[in-house]
Every structure is written in structure tokens, then in C-alpha cells.
Amino acid sequence: MIEQLEQIEASALAALPAVSDSAGLEAWRVTHLGRSSPLMSVLGDLGKLPKEERPAIGQRGNQAKRALEEAYTAKAEALRQAEMEHALRAGALDVTLPGRPQRRGRLHPAVQGLREISAVFAEMGFQIYRSREVESDDYNFGLLNMPPHHPARDMWDTFYTTTPNVILRTHTSPGQIHAMRQFYPEPIRVILPGMCYRYEQITARSDIQFYQVEGLAVGRRITLSDLKGTLSDFARRMFGQTVRTRFRADHFPFTEPSAEMDVECFVCGGQGCAVCKQTGWLEILGCGMVHPTVLANGGYDPAVFSGFAFGMGPQRITMLKHRIEDIRYFFQDDMRFLEQF
């Protein structure tokens, strides 16, 4: 029986060098180490042998099994290395082939609008001031001349939180108070870009979150003429030196007097089209002189200081410039839309 085991081991080891791939190695394992292999048959018949012969034959059988398993492991590693080497050689980089261009990401169209507006005001001497998106009711309304139960609060559909007096800001105007209290008594010339939130029905023209750019200038002897001159210069830098502007009276609780600013339709050149609803004008922002109460709440004496403020929607301007008909496109992550910018 021992001689039979030695022949089985020698035969298996002699057949191993001829194996050249993983499939052949698996076939070798089944033939020589599988349940139906000659080695396993001998080991399975140990119980039929006389008791005095079993230890020696069992020991020799286990030795043969270990030798075949070690040979199998070594061959498997050698085949793996050989296959890896072949794959590396076959897939070597040919530097003479033309490269595949990598697609680069782009700035979101809403961010493009924000950056363009910020760049224009930076050229005009305004600095960017960041303010928080989670605000207190006092900063969002009370300090902007809208005390509790003021009817003007109904103009903004507010997201309230479970914490009393804490809301998501409905406009960037609360940043005016933060800026004034930080820079007092120095003059101020800042813009405040950021996200705003309103609990509104989502439609083609309105969304629950959107960008705004607030502007604030505070100093001595600032007049309405300064406001009109600044915004008219912004329009020329933004839309072209020949663009016309106009101001219409309006009302905002935190400015007095208040106005809305229109620019000549840059789609039809003022002739009238679907974008401007045949009027030849596009409304792009609201503005006004800072209300004395708001100045006082910011720490400035309204008898000495004055200022102007304005607010615009960069997404609205982007929609007008590119004839985008639905504001929901901005945050739907549709690549067909985003790749156009």
C-alpha cells in the first residue's frame, strides 16, 4: 500500500509541469486531490486494513497529500504571476496613439451668474461680505423695520424651525445689520451674495431656494443720485455700455424712498419680445435709500450717516439673458441643461 501511495504521488507531481493555465491546474487538482482521486480512495480504505498497518499507511498518505497540496499552491502562484506578466505586456501603453480627452467639470450656471455679478461690483470697489443663512426673526424682520405682526412680513413666506425665533432667512437683507454692526463707525461698501429660502409653491418662476445678491453702501452725504449712478454703471458693465436703465417707484419696509430698476431688454434691444412681454424692459432688482430706523439698528446715526441698498436675483438675470423658461432647471442636475453653460 505504501508503494501505491508513492506511485500516486510521483505520477501526480510528474503531470504538474505540463499544466499551463488556471483551467488545466483546476483539472489537475480534481484528478489528484479530488474526492474520487486515487489518493483519496486509498485514504478512504484505511478502515479496511489491519490495525497494525493503519498508522504507517495513514502517515504516508498524509505526507503525499501535503506534498501535492504544496505543489498545487506553488503552481497556482507561478501561473498567477505569469498571467499578470502577460497581461501587462499585452496591455502596455502605446504612447504613439492619440490620447482620450478628459471631460472637465464646469461651474454651475447659477454660480457663473454670482461670480459675474461679484466681479463687476469688485471692480466698482465693493467687497464681498458673507452672512449666515440661519437667522433670527429679529435680524430677518424686526431690525429691518418690520416688528412682530407687521403686514409687510406677509411678503415673505418663511420657513420656521422648531427653535423659537430661529428661521431660514427669506432674503439677504439681514446681512445689512450684521455688516453695519461689524464695520461701525467706518463707511461701508459691500455686496452680500447667498442662498435664501421661502415656503412657496414650486413653479417655473419660483422655487423654495434661490440665490440673491444684496448690496449696501453707508457713509456721509450718500444720496439717491449715488444709488442711481452706481446701479446704472453696474448695468452698463454687466449688459453693455449702450444699455438703457429706468427706475420705478416701489415700496420696501427697510428703504425709503424705494424703487425697482429695469434695464432695456437685451434680447430684443427694447423693441419688444416674449422675454420682456413686449414692453422692451426687464426688471432686475429692487433698491432704495436705507431707512433711518435700519441705520439706527445697525449702529449709525441717521442724522449723520445715510446709505443705499439693493437686492437682485442672479438666477433671474441668467434666465433672462439665456431665455431659460423654468427656474427648476437650475437644481435638477440635468446634464443636457448644465452642459450648455
- CB 210 within 8 Å of CB 196: yes
Q: What is the pLDDT of residue 20?
A: 85
Identify the three-state secondary structure at position 322: helix
Q: CA distances (Å), 334 to each of 100, 286, 309, 331, in order? A: 24, 31, 35, 8
Q: What is the pLDDT of residue 15?
A: 86
pLDDT of 275 over the 70 cut = no
Q: Which residue has the cell 498571467?
A: 83
Sign of CA dihedral 219, 223, 226, 227: positive
Alpha carbons 61 and 65: distance in angstroms, whole number: 6
> For the chain, what percent of residues have pLDDT higher than 70?
98
pLDDT per residue as tens digits for the range 136-172: 999 999 999 998 888 888 887 889 999 999 999 999 9
Beta bridge partners of 309: 216, 288
Put simply, whether the predicted model's pTM sits higher than 0.85 gets the answer: no
pLDDT band for 2, please (50, 70, 90 cuts): confident
pLDDT band for 90, please (50, 70, 90 cuts): confident
Decide which of 314 and 43 is more confident: 314
DSSP 222-267: --HHHHHHHHHHHHHHHH-TT--EEEEEEEETTEEEEEEEEEE-TT
Q: Which residue has the cell 434666465?
A: 319
pLDDT per residue as tens digits for the range 18-70: 888 888 888 888 888 888 888 788 777 777 777 777 778 778 878 888 888 89
Q: What is the pLDDT of residue 115?
A: 92
Instruction: Identify the weakest region by mean pLDDT among 266-270, 280-284, 305-309.
Output: 266-270
pLDDT of 289 over the 70 cut = yes
Decide which of 275 and 18 is more confident: 18
